[in-house]
Amino acid sequence: MPIPGVDAARMIDTLNDHGVLYVVVGGFAVELWDVAVLPTVDVDITPERSHENLTRLATALNELEAVLRYGDEGVAIPAGFTAENIVDMNVLNLNTVAGPLDLTIMPAGTEGYPDLIRSATEIEYEGIAVPTASLEDVARSKEAAGRPKDLRTLPAIRAHIRRRSAR
């Protein structure tokens, strides 16, 4: 299930190498759960918000040469990412050398990392352990967000949850 134009393995590997605490959410989480949906175009993560973790995240983002995504353009942060310039953000849409990466601190319908990590599962992707939000949590978030693209995926997610529960 490789995402076209995105080296998700490189992103996840970089985050893991730096010891970043995070949970994969959104479309990539749905794909990791092997739900039949159209491929996503980015990787979405919800990081843990402690200063130490945001420092590790900033280091990983700088290694991935992350820039703010503005339309099709990238806007560099002159001194690079730091915990201080990430801490107050709710959403950061980034371009990296490995493809688009979105930081969603508080996904709709959730209380962020502490809420999501409780029922997260590690799913292997290209030999890398990926902390992935439960499908139930992804469905809850997509429903709360209420965007047309999220609502279109809900029937497939719910059907997958039902099939999994029936086993």
All structural domains of the chain = 8-156 (3.30.460.40)
* pLDDT attached to residue 73: 78
* pLDDT attached to residue 71: 78
CB 4 within 8 A of CB 40: no
CB 115 within 8 A of CB 46: no
* pLDDT attached to residue 1: 53
From the CA atom positions of the chain, what is the Rg in Å?
15
Cα 166 to the center of its chain, rounded Å: 28
What the block records as the tokens of 139 is: 């469905």
What the block records as the tokens of 147 is: 């965007």
* pLDDT attached to residue 119: 97
Please list the ranges in the chain whose pLDDT falls under 70.
Answer: 1-4
* pLDDT attached to residue 127: 96
* pLDDT attached to residue 167: 79
